[in-house]
Amino acid sequence: FDVIGQRGGGLDERLAAAFADTHARLPLPMVLIGMDTPQVTPGLLTDAAQALACGEADAVFGPAADGGFWLLGLRKPDRSLLAGVPMSRQDTGRHQLDRLTSAGLRVAMMPELTDVDTVREAELVAAAIPGSRFAAAFDLAMAGLAPAGIRPPR
């Protein structure tokens, strides 16, 4: 693995730099995902990558239930596609998608997923992927928070 350090100010600039720096080393379409969506599957990532690789789309976008996004894929990075997009807001996803479509890009949409920022969201995601390592870790964490002898609801 090559590790590329983050650079830039806000998250929008760091994401733009990550795309640019990675593309400079390996000029291929790329997909970036959030680390807080444990229900992502290899199939979802394959679908995103294939949409870019086969030329079906110039960008791939995965909206998040909280108004952000969990996935962004680009055939070719362009700083203007990310820089200035307000991040960590309920309308971040809408602004990012508008930026892509306003640039004339063909955007393939991925399903909406819930990213995990709160205990309630963790509970919802764990329930959606029972038997997963995430669900098991959530159960252990919740058991540690419960008073002795009381199992938290699931």
Could you tell me the sign of the dihedral formed by the alpha carbons of 85, 10, 25, 46, in that order? negative
Helices (H), 9-132: 11-25, 42-53, 92-102, 119-128
pTM: 0.89
Q: What is the distance, to the nearest Å, from the Cα of residue 67 to the centroid of all Cα atoms in its chain?
A: 12
pLDDT in tens, 131-141: 999 999 999 99
Question: What residue ranges do the domains of the chain occupy?
Answer: 11-109, 118-154
Q: What is the pLDDT of residues 52-95, one digit of tens each?
A: 999 999 999 999 999 999 999 999 999 999 999 999 999 999 99
Start-to-end CA distance of the chain, whole Å, equals 38
Distant-in-sequence, close-in-space partners of 40: CB < 8 Å, separation ≥ 6: 33, 70, 71, 113
| Res. 143: pLDDT tops 90 | no
Q: What percent of the chain is modeled with pLDDT above 90?
A: 86
Rounded Cα distance, 86 and 5, in Å: 22
Q: Span 11-109: which CATH code?
A: 3.90.550.10
What local confidence, expressed as pLDDT, does residue 133 receive? 92
**Which one, of 8, 112, 93, lies nearest residue 19 by Cα?**
8
